Amino acid sequence: MDSIMSKFFKSSIMMSIFLIILGGLLIFESEMTIVSISYVIGGTLIALGAVAILRFIKNARNMTSSELDIIYGVVTIILGSLIVTHPKGLASIIPIVLGICIVINSANKLQYSLELKKDNNKLWKMTLAVAIVSTLCGVILIFNPFKGVQMITQIVGIFIVTYAVLDMISTITIKRNVSILKKAIKDTITDAEIIEEKEVKKK
């Protein structure tokens, strides 16, 4: 259990650091970053489409081919090609995808804050505030009221950095709370063992 929690906290912190770096690049090198991301996503889709078509051709020789492979391959290659040839167009999609991811993650933090409140833990207010602000960032990104590719990209970068910092604070807060809870449980078990040992000696 401890190793699972440790991996969760490490991955969460690493993701926050990655998002801060990505957000910084979107703010200060918006055009280069969005074009690079578009090329990577477009190239990946084209490669996946090519693999699907090759699998269709290979299976066709064995009379086990699926029409879904050829359809998937063609559609994926076309989509990848469109992204590569129109890299800046991806800027209008990124905010929506990121916004959805942020809202989902913030919902989990919101639920955790309510659990803390039930346990009368003082940290619930801070966790709740972080979750609400993060959710607002996600909602704004989904509805995307900004105009112009460069402005959209820079605004997205600002929101990503804001969310990543808040998420890091929330993760550290949760980690500290778990550590306190574990220590309290350990102390309780130790006290119980001492009492039990004394009772045995009396007998």
Q: Which structural domain, as residue segments, surrounds residue 67?
A: 2-202
Can you tell me the distance from the alpha carbon of 99 to that of 144, in angstroms, rounded to the nearest whole number?
9
CB 28, CB 21: distance < 8 Å = no
Can you tell me the distance from the alpha carbon of 45 to that of 56, in angstroms, rounded to the nearest whole number?
17
The letter for the amino acid at 110 is: L
Q: Beta-carbon neighbour count of residue 163 at 10 Å? A: 28
DSSP of 163-184, one letter per residue?
HHHHHHHHHHHHHHHHHHHHHH
Q: Beta-carbon neighbour count of residue 30 at 10 Å? A: 21
- The sign one gets for the Cα dihedral 138, 11, 90, 100 is negative
Which of 40-44, 68-72, 119-123, 165-169 is least confident? 119-123
Terminal Cα distance for the chain, rounded: 37
Percent of the chain past pLDDT 70, that is, above it, reads: 76
Alpha carbon 146 to its chain centroid, in Å, reads 23
What's the domain count of the chain? 1
For residue 170, what are the CA distances in angstroms to 20, 82, 119? 15, 38, 17
Residue 203 confidence (pLDDT)? 54
Which of 78-82, 166-170, 191-195 is least confident? 191-195
Apex 80 CA angle, 74 and 84, nearest 5: 145
Q: Nearest to residue 19, comparing CAs of 117, 139, 166, 186?
A: 166
pLDDT tens, position by position, 12-65: 788 888 888 888 888 888 778 878 888 988 999 999 999 988 888 887 776 665
